[in-house]
Amino acid sequence: MAAMSLETAVQSLPSDPAAATEALIEAWREHPVAELVLLAGRASRLAAADREKITGIKKGELHAAWLHIEKAKDPLDVDRLLETLTVGTCAEAKVRLGLITQRPADPRIVDALVGIVTIDGKGSSLASAAMRGSTQAEIPYTSAPNRTFWTALAKWLEEHANATYIGVLKAAPGRKRANDFGEWLDARLDRLIPKIAARPVSPATADEETQLELVDALLARLEAAAQQRQINSDALFADVWKNPDDDGPREVLADLLTQKGDPRGEFIALQMARHRGTLDAAGKKREKELLKRHKKEWLGPIAPLIQPHHIRFERGFIVTCSLEPDAALEKSLGTHRAWSTIREFLVHGYAAQTGRTMAKMLTDRGAVRISSGFTRGIE
């Protein structure tokens, strides 16, 4: 059974979450109980917390980055590969699906693929762990020409999923959808369920239960420490927004994020060096590279009200933006402190009327409305 692998995970977790993740995955291969799906996912997210999300601005960039990362076959990349599995075109997703399913048996992969077909339309999966935090908000690729993707996904699940997921699949939101795709997918799931029912999973043994409880307690302790670090960084972000002209909070935030392995820390430090006039050519190249990769992500909580182009950053934070007005979102995001770093903004003609409220809010804060071009920061 899985008791020995679980014991290895217990011994490894305090100092080496990556080794503990591998041990938990091995334990799942030996005895695929539902508890191990959850625990392996939690350990994996802790071990890979400092890994950058896969992003891309121009067409094909994210897919190219995904393929490059997948080629390394690093087990700790599985989470970020799964999170972006269905971002982009169906043709790209089919390629990714073919590659990710060639990996050795892994609870994170099974869980995520079940999650794709059980997404609830609000960005959360009924599957156990791996799809939580995914960028997927609804079932993708529902047109008839894309059914080859779903056929391949269902076929793989028929061969690799077990009875643990019967309840999840039966309770999937949107079952019996009133459209052609819904009926087709339901038929696929109806054929899938009896096949995975033929692979029942026995309950954890007493020895395994003991080890599972130890792993859960250790993970909870590590997650609490990680949460505290996040609280600290959130407080520093708030301090920057409260005091946008003060360099001190930005310097402290840069140090903390760098210690966490967050590339935003390096970016802030580079831009602070640019602000002081000490950034060399290599630093400028790295600055632009980081911004190109993370621009959308670093817009922060106000991103839904900002267009992804016409953006400039200075001292690590956005200073110039083009507004994308949305009356509903403005009620919750229009007064966020993150707007305090904006020094100039653009409102395109189509948004002249709908953007009035946001424009007034920003001018009241001291930002300058511009008609074209930019005067601050770097793109």
User: Which tens digits make up the pLDDT trace of 222-250?
Assistant: 999 988 888 889 999 999 999 999 999 99
139 and 281 fall within a common domain: no
Please give the pLDDT value at position 375: 58
Task: Indicate whether 226 belongs to any domain.
Answer: no
Q: State pTM to two decimals.
A: 0.73
54 and 118 fall within a common domain: yes
Residue 136: closest CA among 154, 112, 152: 112
Phi and psi torsions of 104, nearest 5°: -60, 160
Please give the pLDDT value at position 135: 45
42 and 121 fall within a common domain: yes
Highest mean pLDDT out of 176-180, 204-208, 309-313: 204-208
268 and 314 fall within a common domain: no
Q: How many CB atoms lie within 10 A of CB 269?
A: 21
196 and 335 fall within a common domain: no
Task: Indicate whether 41 belongs to any domain.
Answer: yes
322 and 377 fall within a common domain: yes
344 and 211 fall within a common domain: no
The residue-averaged pLDDT of 166-170 equals 88
167 and 73 fall within a common domain: yes
Report H helices in 300-369: 327-333, 356-364
Residue 26, C-beta contacts closer than 8 angstroms, at least 6 positions apart: 2, 5
Please give the pLDDT value at position 119: 72
Percent of the chain predicted with pLDDT > 90: 66
Residue 259 structural domain: 243-291
Residue 178: pLDDT above 70? no
pLDDT tens-place string over residues 189-209: 999 999 999 999 999 999 999
47 and 63 fall within a common domain: yes
Mean model confidence pLDDT for the chain:
88
279 and 322 fall within a common domain: no
For the chain, the domain total comes to 3
127 and 26 fall within a common domain: yes
132 and 17 fall within a common domain: yes
